[in-house]
Amino acid sequence: MKSLLLCLLGVTAGIWQRNYTVGEVMKNARQLSYDSTSVKITGYITGKLRGTTYIFEDRTAEIKVEIANRYLPAKPFNDRDEVTIRAWVRYEINQPITLQVNETVINE
């Protein structure tokens, strides 16, 4: 009973968060956007487009990501360093799917 309670508390508190791929986010963007779900993705920031817009990719696809300066890691990184982001999915009809980072980017 205690383990069930701890599991339920962990899920509701967001302790155990599913790790998505970019492909899964793009496939399920509409649902993830409406749920206001924060997705966790591990991959590479491979380029900067303009301002706070970056290209993020993993083994499945690439996507545009908005990263405010306050969420960039203190330790410098390059396109060969794997990073983990947590972000909200921004989905609008007839617009490209983008992510908006809502926690500090973790480079491992």
pLDDT tens digits for range 95-107? 999 999 999 998 8
What confidence score (pLDDT) does residue 18 get? 85
Domain membership flag for residue 7: no
Instruction: Look at the chain and report how many structural domains it folds into.
Output: 1
pLDDT tens digits for range 7-40? 444 444 445 578 999 999 999 999 998 877 799 9
Containing structural domain, residue 34? 18-107
More confident residue, 40 or 6: 40
Enter the pTM of the model: 0.80
* Closest of 83, 91, 105 to residue 30, by C-alpha: 91
DSSP state of 16: S
What confidence score (pLDDT) does residue 37 get? 79
Domain membership flag for residue 9: no
More confident residue, 45 or 34: 45
Rounded-to-integer distance, Cα 35 and Cα 40, Å: 14
Domain membership flag for residue 1: no
Q: Residue 7 — φ and ψ, nearest 5°?
A: -65, -45
pLDDT tens digits for range 71-89? 998 888 889 999 999 999 9
Tokens (6 digits) for 49: 């487009």
